[in-house]
A and B are shown apart, each in its own frame.
Chain A
Amino acid sequence: MAEKTFTVKVEFPEGGEETFEAGAGEYILGAARRAGLQLPSLCEQGWDLACAVKIVEGEVDQSDSRRYFEEDRKCGFALICTGKACSDLVIVPYQSKQMRKCRDEHGLPAPRGT
């Protein structure tokens, strides 16, 4: 049986949008690359915040991420390098500074340079 797929819409902060399909079992960053879309990333293990996105709509499974907190989810952020779509998504990339601000507000660790 074919793997279930979800539609991921990327809304860029400077304007414009792209859409691609992501399988339920694959990482969103990998699906974006497969579709020819380059999004920022660094550690690719769900630790640093280079790949942070704001989730406008939908849900992401972060169980494979090395460091992801419940507060991150409550603030509406995901790490797409190790995040899997659980539904259709609308996301905004380039959110590392905003996600770090959320971490800071909750006294949680984060790299300072990304």
Chain B
Amino acid sequence: MAREMPHATGKVPPGDVTQRVGIEVMEARGVNVEELREKLIDAIAAEFASTYYYYTILRMYLAGHEDYKEICEDARLEDRAHFELMTPRVYELGGSLPYNLHEFADRAGCPHAYLPGTDNGQHAPEMGDGKGPSAADILEVLLDSERCAIRTWSEICDLTAGGKDPRTYDLASRILNEEIEHEAWFIELLSMERDGVVRPSGHFRRGEPGEAPYSKNRPLYNP
């Protein structure tokens, strides 16, 4: 009886540049490549447009909380690293970034992390008392954003686990490692800032801003 060999079931002839064995082997293992690719684009749109961009604004309003600002900055830069890490995979799977930034932002799988008090980004925050949104309000936005990211990358890992798509799984699991750390950071900070309760993240500070110890490995091109 012939042995099951999904790596040897392909139909791509030698020299054919219109098809990819890298996709064929995934399909042979039951991956819906188009659906996965669309989920990846939603996910990197969230990293770039929902968090990296809006975290840039959020950190501007953490004045007086320099420790929070630094940690927000780490999360911001690492979310950008996640966008950079997974974008090549979208192209490998036959997709592309949308050619219009508005279209990209609109399809993000997670909500935009709008600055509190801006009516979902419609206007500047009320600055009448000179304080702007509270640190606790901003930390809540950061925490909920990270939680959406954890669910997003967990779903990608679920869809690719078990040898179905080791490459996407590896990239997504690196990102997931950092998103889980980000959640722990913001639980720790929000818990103390809002509730006065210590809930340690168990982490120490990054070596440099946006170090991305899992998703920015040196052998990968990811400046």
7 contacts between A and B (CB under 8 A): A42-B151, A43-B110, A47-B148, A110-B107, A112-B107, A113-B39, A114-B39
A43 touches B39 (CB 8 A): no
A112 touches B144 (CB 8 A): no
A67 sits at the interface (CB 8 A): yes
CB-contact partner of B42 in A45, A67, A114, under 8 A: A114
B101 to chain A, nearest CB (A): 13
* CB-defined contacts of B170 to chain A, threshold 8 Å: none
B193 sits at the interface (CB 8 A): no
SS class of chain B's interface: helix, strand, loop or mixed? Answer: helix
* CB-defined contacts of B157 to chain A, threshold 8 Å: none
Report the Cα distance A42→B41, complex, angstroms. Answer: 15
Given contacts A42-B151, A66-B120, A113-B35, contact A47 B42 (CB under 8 A): no
B38 sits at the interface (CB 8 A): yes
B69 sits at the interface (CB 8 A): no
A15 sits at the interface (CB 8 A): no
B111 touches A113 (CB 8 A): no
* CB-defined contacts of A67 to chain B, threshold 8 Å: 111
* CB-defined contacts of B116 to chain A, threshold 8 Å: none
B38 touches A113 (CB 8 A): yes
Contacts beyond the supplied A44-B147, A45-B144: 6 A-B pairs with Cβ under 8 Å:
A43-B109, A45-B148, A46-B111, A111-B107, A111-B109, A113-B36
B110 touches A48 (CB 8 A): yes
| Tally of contacts, chain A with chain B, CB under 8 A | 54
A43 touches B42 (CB 8 A): no
* CB-defined contacts of A41 to chain B, threshold 8 Å: 151
* CB-defined contacts of B36 to chain A, threshold 8 Å: 113
B62 sits at the interface (CB 8 A): no
CB-contact partner of B110 in A47, A110, A112, under 8 A: A47
Q: Which residue of A lies closest to B43 (CB)?
A: A113
B151 touches A44 (CB 8 A): yes
B125 to chain A, nearest CB (A): 18
* CB-defined contacts of B160 to chain A, threshold 8 Å: none
Given contacts A45-B144, A66-B120, contact A113 B151 (CB under 8 A): no
CB-contact partner of A43 in B35, B41, B120, B148, under 8 A: B148
* CB-defined contacts of B106 to chain A, threshold 8 Å: 109-110
Q: Which residue of B lies closest to A47 (CB)?
A: B111
* CB-defined contacts of B110 to chain A, threshold 8 Å: 43, 45, 47-48
* CB-defined contacts of B92 to chain A, threshold 8 Å: none
A113 touches B109 (CB 8 A): yes
Q: Which residue of B lies closest to A43 (CB)?
A: B148
Q: Which residue of A lies closest to B152 (CB)?
A: A42
Report the Cα distance A112→B106, complex, angstroms. Answer: 10
A68 to chain B, nearest CB (A): 11
